[in-house]
Amino acid sequence: MKHVFEQKVFYSDTDAYGVVWHGSYLRWLEMGRVLWCEDAGHNLIDLKNQDIVLPVVNLNVRYKASAKLNDEVVIETWIEKFNALSVTFKQCIKSKETGKTLIEAEVEVVAINNDGKLYRRMPKILLETFERTAACPQPV
């Protein structure tokens, strides 16, 4: 399963050089993961109420090109891999106009309880979702 959404670049997303500030990309990546979870049937507030929180533990971002004010970007999010302890999302931000890749990212997430204790095994409700969504072919 792949989640895709579009985002317009606003003035507040840019830096003194007139290009998108690197932190804006991270915010869009977070939005992509949250929306992916919602598409998979998991609202993050509902998960928190079930004592499950999903913090990022590893973030690898490769900046390839910059977007500029008023550009439209496309954010794609899918699961690259998962195991009993963590899930790795693969994410890509592209220019809507040219299709050029601006950002490639791998984001590793774990499950902890509301007190910050790591689950030794991914909660069953999440593991079943990852298995179900990974079984579907990834769109090209």
CA atoms within 13 A on the CB side of 136: 13
N- to C-terminal Cα distance for the chain? 11
State how far the Cα of 44 lies from the Cα of 88, in Å rounded to an integer: 17
State how far the Cα of 74 lies from the Cα of 109, in Å rounded to an integer: 22
15 is an active site residue? yes
Sign of torsion, CA 40 41 43 44?
A: negative
State how far the Cα of 108 lies from the Cα of 90, in Å rounded to an integer: 9
Residues that are catalytic = 15
